[in-house]
Every structure is written in structure tokens, then in C-alpha cells.
């Protein structure tokens, strides 16, 4: 009995001296040590931003109590939308869903030219990037016909530490109800 308790005390003592003492909350690292190598990935897909119908992908969640800027616009300055929009591999409604864009967009321009600022996470649900996502945080000058470019500022999973850009074309737009199908060409650097 006594031998056992001596062993127990000894074991406790050994444990206590092998517990590392961590007084710092940070340490230095390097990309080399993490064995990270930068890659470039191109993505091509279509975002379906459907406001009409019984199950819209985008819903208005706030607006100012006065109209500022162009009153002709379907989404005047200050209107805020929550989105959960499907991403498809083609422009057709029957094209395969490969992910979704979840987040917010805000009508951000007081001029006649509609501008949206997007705060969205583009998550992929199939293929090589299943479970990974890209963070888009950018102005989206909707009325500019060419070279609409959004900034990709980060990512998760396989897109960890991502940075890049998305070129956006309007494939389809219904001015009356705001329904749109947008073609995305994304270039991202990640590890």
C-alpha cells in the first residue's frame, strides 16, 4: 500500500516537471517551416441572385427611412440584403450547384449608377474545394459593362491565406425584379 502511494507521488512529481511552462502567447514562425507553397487557382462559375419568387436567394433586411440618391433604382442607396445564392457550373437553372455565396450586399452609391458593396463568403460544396471558401469584400460597380472586378481578401480550408480577384460579367439581368445571373472568373493565390 505504502509503495503504491510513493509511486503515485513520484508519478505526480514527474508529470509536473514535464508540463511545459508557457508564459508567452506567441512565437515566431516561417512559411518554410510550415512547408507552404503558393499556388494559383482559376475558378469559373455562375452566381444566381434571384430576388423574385417564393424562395428568393436574396432578401432585403434593412433600408433608410428616407430616399437618398436615385429613386429610380430598384435598390436605392442604403438598402441592405442578406444572400444565400447558389453557385452553378453553368448559366442554366439546371446547371449543377457547386456551392453558395452567403453574406450581405449594400447599395452604396448615391449617384444614378448602382454600386453594391459585397461582404460575402463563397463556399464550395463539391469537387476539389468542397468545404473550402473564399472571402469577397469589395465594391461591385454593377452598371460598368466591362471589367467589373471584385477583391478576394481571404479564404478558408484549401483557400487559406487566399488573395485575388474576380472578374464579373452580367449574363442575365431583369431590371424590374432585380433577378440576375452573374458569370465569375476568379483568380486566387493561396497555399
Ligand X SMILES: *[C@@H]1O[C@H](CO)[C@@H](O)[C@H](O)[C@H]1NC(C)=O
Residues engaged in binding ligand X (CB under 6 A): 65-66, 92, 94, 111, 113, 143
Three-state SS annotation for the chain? CHHHHHHHHHHHHHHHHHCCCCCCCCCCCCCCCCCCCCEEEEEEEEEEECCCCCCCCEEEEECCCCCCCCCCCCCCCCCEEEEEEEEECCCCCCCCEEEEEEEEEEECCCCCCCCEEEEEEEEECCHHHCCCEEEEEEEECCCCCCCEEEEEEEEEHHHCCCEEEEEEEEEEECCCCCCEEEEEEEEEEEC
Query: What distance in Å separates the CA atoms of residue 44 and residue 184, rounded to the nearest whole number?
Result: 6
Picking from 79, 114, 94, 4, the residue whose alpha carbon sits closest to that of residue 48 is: 94
CB of 153 to ligand X, least distance (A): 24
CB of 39 to ligand X, least distance (A): 33
CB of 185 to ligand X, least distance (A): 20
Q: Residue 134 or residue 142: which is nearer to ligand X going by CB?
A: 142
CB of 108 to ligand X, least distance (A): 12
Q: Residue 113 or residue 187: which is nearer to ligand X going by CB?
A: 113
CB of 112 to ligand X, least distance (A): 6
Q: Residue 60 or residue 102: which is nearer to ligand X going by CB?
A: 60
Q: Residue 92 or residue 187: which is nearer to ligand X going by CB?
A: 92
Q: Residue 111 or residue 126: which is nearer to ligand X going by CB?
A: 111
Amino acid at each position: 500500500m505504502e509503495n503504491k502511494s510513493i509511486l503515485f507521488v513520484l508519478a505526480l512529481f514527474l508529470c509536473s516537471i514535464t508540463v511545459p511552462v508557457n508564459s508567452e502567447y506567441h512565437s515566431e514562425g516561417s512559411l518554410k517551416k510550415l512547408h507552404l507553397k503558393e499556388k494559383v487557382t482559376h475558378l469559373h462559375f455562375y452566381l444566381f441572385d434571384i430576388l423574385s419568387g417564393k424562395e428568393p436567394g436574396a432578401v432585403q433586411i434593412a433600408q433608410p427611412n428616407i430616399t437618398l440618391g436615385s429613386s429610380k433604382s430598384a435598390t436605392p442607396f442604403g438598402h441592405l440584403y442578406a444572400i444565400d445564392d447558389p453557385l452553378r457550373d453553368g448559366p442554366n437553372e439546371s446547371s449543377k450547384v457547386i456551392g453558395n455565396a452567403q453574406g450581405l450586399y449594400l447599395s452604396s452609391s448615391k449617384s444614378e449608377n448602382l454600386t453594391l458593396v459585397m461582404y460575402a463568403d463563397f463556399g464550395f460544396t463539391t469537387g476539389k474545394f468542397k468545404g473550402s471558401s473564399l472571402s469577397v469584400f469589395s465594391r461591385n460597380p454593377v452598371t460598368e459593362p466591362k471589367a467589373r472586378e471584385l477583391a478576394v481578401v481571404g479564404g478558408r480550408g484549401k483557400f487559406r491565406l487566399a488573395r485575388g480577384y474576380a472578374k464579373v460579367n452580367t449574363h442575365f439581368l431583369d431590371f424590374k425584379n432585380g433577378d440576375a445571373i452573374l458569370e465569375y472568373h476568379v483568380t486566387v493565390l493561396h497555399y
